[in-house]
Amino acid sequence: MLEKNGSVTLLDVARAAGVSIKTASRALNNAPELRKATGDHVREVMQQLGYQPNELARGLKSRRSATIAMIAPNLADPFTAAAVQAVQDVAREHRYVVILASSGGDAALELSEVEIMARRQIDGLILIAATSGKNTLKGMLAKDVPVVVFDEPVRGEEVDTITVTNRKGARQATEHLLGHGHRRILAVGARPYLYTCSERVAGYRAAMRSAGAEPVELLVKHENELTSEALAPYLSGPCKVEAIIGLNWVCTMGVLRGLNTFKKRLGEEFAFISFDDFELAEMIPPGLTVVRQPTRELGRQAASLLFERIAEKSHGEARKVVLSTEFVIRGSCGCTPT
């Protein structure tokens, strides 16, 4: 283990192996034009010296950093966490590494994160957009860095996009509640300017209108406005509703907290459906009926798509992948759990 500066360089390897640095480089990259014996020998020397290639140097020269980035509003959200895990798995298969950043749902912060990634010469970006954001991606796209937009499409840019059937899922859930005879159904959403939210609201409205029922909506600008006080009017008094739909995980949490605060019981006083499934949804009695998104699959496909782009380097048509949500009936909608 000869160590000069704390680390062995490719030149050290070359010298020790009695070859030129380029040959060493070829050995490192398993270049086909190398005689097998030569390559093996060099690689053995690498082993012996404990050589570790410097990815920074590699990236600087070759302009590929073997790094992708993923930016999401909130990393602690289980939807995001599951997607991140899936993306990471795919990245590893490609011998890539993933830099993670959260935008906090703030467009300005998001933009600055994207910029930071650009400086790191990332080879690709997966974005769960904080807004249906206009020009967050300008910089990336100008530099020809592939981008896959996830969950939340971005307007005005031709970008690969992967989403779910938001509208249909919400419509289905609403129709189900209507089918149970409910008319006063509350939809609870946050950040209505988001595509996901607005699509889900649209699905909800469509179902309500078709049934001749009047939509009742509580759409807050920011998740933290989703307090028990905000919900109170709908849980008792003249505005009281019969059923509630939580339009995403955070909203579902808010509603459940609210119900808990006022000691309201699911299934009895209120029917409930959540957009977003999660661990334990079945454990909350009488079991939460949910519109499930194929989270891991979303992450996996987003990453796969991204790596295809990275590999081909072609600028084909932007692909739009739409995965289906799944309606999972448990008890909270009013169905008797089997």
Partner DNA sequence: ATGAAAGCGCTAACAT
Partner DNA sequence: ATGTTAGCGCTTTCAT
Q: Which residues bind DNA (CB under 7 A)?
A: 5, 7, 9-11, 19-23, 25-26, 28-29, 33-35, 38-39, 51, 53-54, 57-58, 60-62
Instruction: Determine if 67 is a binding residue for its own copies (CB under 8 A).
Output: yes
Residue choice 22, 92, 221, 240 for contact with its own copies (CB under 8 A):
92
* Contact indicator for 176, 333 with CB cutoff of 8 Å: yes
Tokens of 150: 């996830």
Instruction: Determine if 53 is a binding residue for its own copies (CB under 8 A).
Output: yes
Tokens of 175: 């129709």
Instruction: Determine if 317 is a binding residue for its own copies (CB under 8 A).
Output: no
Instruction: Determine if 224 is a binding residue for its own copies (CB under 8 A).
Output: no
- Using the minimum distance from each CB to its own copies, give the nearer residue, 116 or 321: 116
- 116, with CB counted inside 10 A (0-12, 13-18, 19+), is middle
Start-end of H helices in the chain = 10-17, 21-28, 36-49, 55-62, 78-93, 107-119, 138-142, 166-179, 195-210, 228-235, 249-261, 295-312
Least separation, in Å, of the C-beta of 151 and DNA?
33
Half-sphere exposure in the Cβ direction for 190 (13 Å, CA): 20
Distance CA 262, CA 240 (A): 13
Q: DSSP labels for 143-171?
A: TT--EEEESS--TTS--EEEEE-HHHHHH
- By CB under 8 A, the residues from 261 to 280 that bind its own copies are 279-280
- Using the minimum distance from each CB to its own copies, give the nearer residue, 154 or 256: 256
Q: How many residues bind its own copies (CB under 8 A)?
A: 50
State the binding partner of 9 from its own copies, DNA, none, CB within 5 to 8 A by kind: DNA
Least separation, in Å, of the C-beta of 53 and DNA?
4
Distance CA 186, CA 208 (A): 10
- Residues near its own copies (CB under 8 A): 6-7, 52-57, 59-60, 65, 67, 74-78, 80-82, 84-85, 88-89, 92, 97-102, 115-121, 143-144, 253, 256-257, 260, 279-280, 282-285
